[in-house]
Structure 1
Amino acid sequence: MPLSLTVADEVRALAPGFLYVAVEARDLDGTLGGGDATAALLDDAARRLADRLGGRPPHEDPHMAAWRRAYTAFGAKPSRTRNSAEALARRALADGGLPRINPLVDLYNAVSVAHLVPLGGEDADRIEGGMRLVRARGDEPFATTAGGEPVEERPESGEVVWCDDRGVTCRRWNWRQGVRTRLTAESGNALFLLEGMSPVEGAALHAAAEELAGHLERLSPGARITLAGPAS
């Protein structure tokens, strides 16, 4: 059964132009056959991004500008806490390039950068109940690390967060993912969320999701992939 995903009315009111596509992958080989293919995809994504921007900084892209406005609307400072796509894009254009984390994360990071859309992945077996995009009360638990040690934080009141029945899975919309549900090479079932903000249209977001699904099918033969959306 597909995971339940809901967007609270208070989030819709904050950002009427928000939409998302969900990609569910079941029976995955989380290693994706090793890291060579995903390393090549990361390199290609950086080239595609540079062509798209044509020398402009990522925050001047209309889609990234729209995300900055949404972050400002719930009280975040977008020049300090950037959405995940802008943060990755800045790293892709820097001398060090994109980080290598693990095959599943590297794959979705590559698609995020190539299309300049926020894209995150969750281990579906670690999600408790459905996923909800809400404005935080401020007392929800968020499992993360500090200095290499596990810590539990709380979001700010009014902050936009993804959460499940146990707590926050991603803070400030798509700024920082928690450790509890993150993907690893041992993950066998995954949920990927591609998020867009007007002026990005559903067709463009769906094209990015189709690219992700195609890579998953190629690198993990036998995986069962389903797409849902665009939804607002």
Structure 2
Amino acid sequence: MYLQHSDRLRAAHPTLVAGVLYAEGVGGAPRVDLPLADLRDEARKRLTGGSEAGLPQIQAWRRAFTRMGLAPTRYRCAAESLLRRLRTAGDLPAVHPLVDLGNALSVAYAIPVGIFDADLIGDGLVVRHARGDERYLTFGGAEEHPDPDEVVFADDQGRAHARRWTNRQSGWSAVRDDTTRILIVVEALHDRADRDVPALLDDLTDALQRGWGAGSRTAVLTAARPRFEV
């Protein structure tokens, strides 16, 4: 099991800080209540002075999407979409305990958090520019092909587990009721990313331990150490 960012992607986005977490034994409901409400309240505090578009974390992703040729108001990173939902609807929908935890941490830190069922991603994932022949599965069950040079999370079977980098995950490896092993990817581009990403990983590790009694393996990836492997 591995996660790696391609050299080309890192060269194009040199401020990227990526955190990775692998955990087992996270099936079923958590044994204690998780601090989801507190995390969402932290996000609401961030939004007191304006919309999510003004946050430095989100501005950094908007600049990255613009460099990739994507209109940032049409294609938003996952954290921006969640913050927008929280601001306009007042709360986030309950999906699955692990997804709810990831979403709450994502809005609290304004950083995209991707959670993959580790049993459904083959031997691992490379975050890279697409060739255009990869297969992407929507949550509605339709198959798509990413555009050439679009950033995807690709496995060794030619499947794309996310499109437009942090914009949209795939149905291939979404967390399910029978999920027990997970790979979590946290990515940021803003100035404080080298501090915020490790802090988010620490909060994830603590929540998984308290909620499921699960031990975690984590790493912060850099250009010198671009690969996480279990």
> 4+ residue stretches of structure 1 with deviation over 4 A?
none
| Percent of residue pairs identical | 34
Partner of 2:228: none
TM-superposed CA distance for 1:216, in Å, is: 0.6
Partner of 1:89: 83
TM-superposed CA distance for 1:23, in Å, is: 0.8
On the 8 A contact 1:75/1:159 being kept in 2, the answer is no
Task: Compare 25-34 and 7-16 and name the one that shifted more.
Answer: 25-34
Structure 2 unaligned blocks of 5 or more: 224-230
**How far, CA to CA, are the matches of 2:21 and 2:170 in structure 1?**
19
**Residue 22 of structure 1, aligned match among 20, 23, 43:** 20
TM-superposed CA distance for 1:231, in Å, is: 2.9
**How far, CA to CA, are the matches of 1:30 and 1:67 in structure 2?**
33
What TM-score do the two structures reach when normalised by structure 1?
0.90
**C-alpha distance after superposition, 1:146-183 (max 9, x if no partner):** 4xxx1110111111111111210011111111111111
Instruction: Spell out the pairing of 1:15-54 with structure 2 (5 A cutoff).
Output: 15-33=13-31, 37-38=33-34, 41=36, 43-54=37-48
**How far, CA to CA, are the matches of 1:145 and 1:63 in structure 2?**
27
Partner of 1:4: 2
Give the paired residue count.
222
Structure 1 unaligned blocks of 5 or more: none
On the 8 A contact 1:14/1:73 being kept in 2, the answer is no
**How far, CA to CA, are the matches of 1:73 and 1:134 in structure 2?**
15
What is the root-mean-square deviation in Å for CA atoms of aligned residues? 1.6
Instruction: Spell out the pairing of 1:146-165 with structure 2 (5 A cutoff).
Output: 146=140, 150-165=141-156
Query: Are residue 112 (structure 1) and residue 106 (structure 2) matched?
Result: yes
**Residue 180 of structure 2, aligned match among 188, 194, 208:** 188
**Residue 54 of structure 2, aligned match among 46, 55, 60:** 60
Paired residue type of 1:9:
D
